[in-house]
Structure 1
Amino acid sequence: MVAFEAADGLKYYDIVEGKGPVAEKGSTVQVHFDCLYRGVTAVSSRESKLLAGNRIIAQPYEFKVGAPPGKERKRDFVDNPNGLFFSAQAAPKPPPAMYTVTEGMKVGGKRTVIVPPEAGYGQKGMSEIPPGATFELNLELLQVMPPGGK
């Protein structure tokens, strides 16, 4: 496992390099992400939808690499393979760091990032992550669509 430091000072580790296409600035990607605070998962794309009171559907998070956080297209309803519809508005909010540290990953890759408050949830916090906290972000790159096309 090799440690890297991004231009913005974020430290990250590639756990699995991946063998697919590379995520470049401007490309649209789908990831699963988990934010861990003190070893406990506090925010995760893997537990974003609750159906019928007890069924959880994990929907990948889609965004443009290098774009300002929160500018991704909102989908009101999503159709999934089992024919169920659900609102995508309740998806967990990823930390701003995710929009930059995904660059350079390959599909199938897994990366762990140490996220300081200024690149994370700042002085507001999120879920069980308190204001001003440093936490661990685990990313898995599922898909890359090149800039300007699908």
Structure 2
Amino acid sequence: MHRIFISILVTLIAVPVFAAEEPKTDEQKTFYAIGTIIARQLSVFDLAPAELEMIKQGLTDAATGKKPVVDEAAYTAKIQELAAARRNAQGEKLAAEAKQFVDAAAKEKGAVKTTSGLIYIPLKEGSGANPKATDKVKVNYRGTLVNGQEFDSSYKRGTPAEFPLNQVIPCWTQGVQMMKAGGKAKLICPPEIAYGKSGSGSIPPNATLVFEIELLDVVKEQSHK
């Protein structure tokens, strides 16, 4: 992930900097989307406003051909160290926030807390079949951290996701089996049945995750001859 972040910034130093404006054309919207990609890569640093200004200055200097005041190569290792430190700190902060969030979620109407720590909250009852772990499912979903920050959404991609239910995080394997096709539910996933101490991509270590899932269809396991 960190290599991707550095690669994007290095690529963009050749892009001219223009005054900020609301994107109107497809090309402008493309450049705006590049900015949102960079923002996601930078989210690991949990930047203060002054730190963001330093990044803007470095990007502007490089993009406009001004001689950098810092040797990039000399600071590559420090970037990695800072990213790791900030990522761990963010995980610790989210872990502290999660307890209150989870306690409140467990008291919501219809909430079921399993022995694994999963909290299942039905939002809409389905009328189809319950999937088995070996089935393939078709879903729409949105994933957030407990602070509301979105990290994934099939809605934004405009395409439902399909996958074997036993090839995703345990929280999904357990929780989606509690749903019926056509239903919608919220899953609160503690780190032990999500991405644990390592995190994944933009998901920090020890993060409790919140998923709103629509189970669109269940594709039964095909028998093998």
Equivalent of 1:59 in 153, 159, 165? 159
Q: CA, structure 1 residues 96+24, in 2 after alignment: closer, same or farther (shift >3 Å)? A: closer
Deviations 1:61-116 (A, max 9, x none): 21223x243xxxxxxxxxxxxxxxxxxxxxxxxx4421221103111211111111
* Superposition map of 1:38-53 within 5 A: 38-47=147-156
The residue correspondences of 1:125-136 to structure 2 (distance < 5 A) are 125-136=199-210
- The higher relative CO (CA closer than 8 Å, separation ≥ 6) is in 1
The percent identity for this pair of structures is 32
Q: How do 1:63-102 residues align onto structure 2 when only pairs under 5 Å count?
A: 63-65=163-165, 67-69=166-168, 95-102=169-176
Give SS of 1:97's match.
helix
Query: What amino acid is the match of 2:159?
Result: Q
Q: What is the rounded CA distance, in whole Å, between the counterparts of 1:133 and 1:110 in structure 2?
A: 23
- Counterpart CA distance in 1 for 2:126 and 2:149 is 25
Amino acid across the alignment from 1:20: G
Provide the C-alpha distance between the structure 2 equivalents of 1:27 and 1:62, rounded to a whole number of angstroms. 10
Aligned to 1:143: 217
Matching residue within 178, 198, 220 for 1:104 = 178
* Separation (CA, whole Å) in 2 of partners of 1:14 and 1:98: 14
Q: Which has the larger radius of gyration?
A: 2
Q: Which residue of 2 aligns with 1:11?
A: 119
Higher normalized strand content (fraction of residues): 1
Task: After the TM superposition, list the runs of 4 or more consecutive aligned residues in structure 1 that deviate by more than 4 angstroms.
Answer: none
Q: CA RMSD in A?
A: 2.0
- Residue type of the alignment partner of 1:64: P
TM-score between the two structures when normalised by the length of structure 2:
0.45
Q: Does the CA-based 8 Å contact 1:16-1:111 persist in structure 2?
A: yes
SS at match of 2:222: coil
Gaps of 5+ in 1: 48-56, 70-94
Q: Deviations over 1:30-85 (max 9, x none)?
A: 111211111121122223xxxxxxxxx422221223x243xxxxxxxxxxxxxxxx
Structure with greater helix share of residues:
2
- Per the TM alignment, residue 127 of structure 1 is displaced from its structure 2 partner at its CA by 4.4
Report the residue type matching 1:62 in the other structure: E
CA apart distance, 1:7: 4.2
Tell me if the contact between 1:43 and 1:127 (Cα under 8 Å) persists in the aligned partners: no
* TM-score after normalising by structure 1: 0.65
* Kept in 2: contact 1:42–1:127 (CA 8 A): no
Whole-Å separation in 2 of the counterparts to 1:6 and 1:15:
17
Provide structure 2 residue ranges, at least 5 long, that are not aligned to the other structure.
1-108
